[in-house]
Amino acid sequence: QVQLVQSGAEVKKPGASVRVSCKASGYMFTSYHLHWVRQAPGRGLEWMGRINPRGAYTVYAQDFQGRVTMTRDTSTSTVFLDLSSLRSEDTAIYYCARAGVWELLGDWGQGTLVIVSS
């Protein structure tokens, strides 16, 4: 079955960078886009962007342009989210999600809590 296993929680200082990983299994890694969605404490869902693991093509939400980078490692079926210049407002749970046909997010990782605090 499809599994998306994310890396563990992180605590970072303002201005630092964070990398969150999402290891996929149970399907052909290069056949489906992977999206990143975040959720600040007690808040709603915010779409950050997606990556096509086949060609590493990315689309980022404008709100994160210049601070976000999504990459993948096909040898380990893992996608990575790098977010730089962290500020307190970036404190959130970060989810990866696999998109089936038409970008529907049918499978989700367990989430990774990132805390940004001095």
Partner 1 sequence: DLVMTQSPDSLAVSLGERATINCKSSQSVLSSSNDRNYLSWYQQKPGQPPKLLIYWASTRQSGVPDRFSGSGSGTHFTLTISSLQAEDVAVYYCQQYYTTPYTFGQGTKLEIK
Alpha carbon 112 to chain centroid, angstroms? 9
82 is a contact residue toward partner 1 (CB under 8 A): no
106 is a contact residue toward partner 1 (CB under 8 A): yes
Selected from 35, 36, 70, 72, the binder of partner 1 by CB under 8 A is: 35
With CB under 8 A as the contact rule, which of the stretches 14-22, 37-45, 68-76, 77-85 interacts with partner 1?
A: 37-45
d(CA 83, CA 15): 10
108 is a contact residue toward partner 1 (CB under 8 A): yes
Residue 91: CA count within 13 A, CB half-sphere: 12
d(CA 45, CA 56): 24
Site for partner 1 in 83-102 (CB under 8 A): 95, 97, 102
For residues 88 and 14, is the Cβ–Cβ distance under 8 A?
yes
Interface ranges with partner 1 (CB under 8 A) = 35, 37, 44-47, 49-50, 59, 61-63, 95, 97, 102-106, 108-111
